[in-house]
Amino acid sequence: MQTTDWNRQLWYGGYKWDAQGEEWSAAWGGSEPQWFGSLYPRLHRVLPASSILEIAPGMGRWTKFLLPLCRNYVGVDISLECVRGCQKTFADAHHARFMHKDGYSLSEVEDHSVDLVFSFDTLVHAEFDVLKRLIPQILQKLNERGVAFIHHSNMGSVGAEFKDAPDFGLRALSVSYKNIEDLIVQSGGRVIIQEVIDWGSGKVPRDCLTMLARGDGQQTDPVHLYNLQFMEESSNIRHFHAPYSVRLPDPTVPDTVSCQDAVEVDNLASQTALQRQGTPTKVLPVAADEVADERIAADVAVPRRGGMESPRSSKHRLQ
């Protein structure tokens, strides 16, 4: 069980931040391709935002993408080492504040002031007792059109037998998509979307992405997505998005596409050509696409830019 004291000791002095958290984006080829290939597509309807609260920014892996998209930013972290690191890294961002808190409280953030609460790859370590205190405060900080996007554990649904798996990742065992949804409703909020995702190897649905808002807005049924292709998505991003993140032209920067990558790309191209010659692949129906698109548009009151069409999901509803 990952207690608050355990988290504090691990992330303040117990962990070497030599790579600034980039090691956790390796499966995507780095934080930049992960942000633009995986996270931003899920958040594009709520960004830019006037005011952003980031819970547990660490050393600023996502902060560097959030800061240009807001007028006011607050980062709250349990690790004083991370707070000091962000204050140094983003010293020129005068619209940003970083605060050291106890892991339970958001008291220094003004109520009803935040457009977006964001937390990714951190609250997966928070047990239900922590989220039981945080989520009511998150709802209290959101303004009437605000949205929160949090990445949390789903191990309460999966079962403790997976806690010794190689890619367990120190997930909280008491948290599930269902008890978080119930907690949000009981706290006066509403779920917009919940996406259960696999993490690591084995297609185990260890995690969940939950988008929520205050309960006094337009009422719609939540959309539940079950996505065991999240890590396949990361592989595609690493191979086909990450090369575009290289700063070119610059002869001092080594080519990020290795020889092995080139072989894999060539093999993939050959397989694709063979598939096209064979029996066409059956396309599975996606029941949630149109419904989710309409509900997001209703829930998130952000005007669409021009006549741009909304992206289509390839995920399926939770059974």
Max Cα-Cα span within the chain: 61
Residue 254 lies in a domain: no
Find the CATH number of the domain harbouring 182.
3.40.50.150
The 3-state secondary structure of 237-257, one letter per residue: HHHHCHHHHCCCCCCCCCCCC
What is the domain count for the chain? 1
Residue 290: predicted pLDDT: 41
Residue 179 phi/psi, 5-degree rounding, is -75, -20
The pLDDT score that the predictor gives to residue 123 is 95
pLDDT score, position 156: 93
Q: Is there a domain that residue 66 lies in?
A: yes
In a domain, 210, yes or no: yes
C-alpha to C-alpha distance for 75 and 245, rounded to whole angstroms: 26
54-82 burial code (b ≥16 CB/10 A, e <16): bbbbbbbbbbbbbbebbebbbbbbbbebb
Residue 153 structural domain:
4-233
Q: Which of the residues in the chain have pLDDT under 50?
A: 11-12, 253-319
The Cβ-side half-sphere exposure at 60, using a 13 Å CA radius, reads: 22
In a domain, 299, yes or no: no
Rounded to whole angstroms, how far apart are CA atoms 243 and 239? 7
pTM, rounded to two decimals = 0.74
Is 60 in a helix, a strand, or coil? Answer: coil
**For position 302, what pLDDT does the model report?**
39
Residue 121 maps to a domain: yes
CB–CB of 234/27 below 8 Å? yes
CA dihedral 236, 241, 242, 247 (to 10 degrees): 170
Is residue 119 in some structural domain?
Answer: yes
The percent of the chain in helix, strand and coil, each rounded to the nearest 5, is 40, 20, 45
Inter-residue contact 209 to 149 (CB < 8 Å): yes
Residue 291 lies inside a defined structural domain of this protein: no
Tell me whether residue 238 is in a domain.
no
pLDDT of residue 267: 47
Does 41 sit behind a cis peptide bond, omega within 30 degrees of 0 on the bond before it? no
C-alpha to C-alpha distance for 281 and 276, rounded to whole angstroms = 9
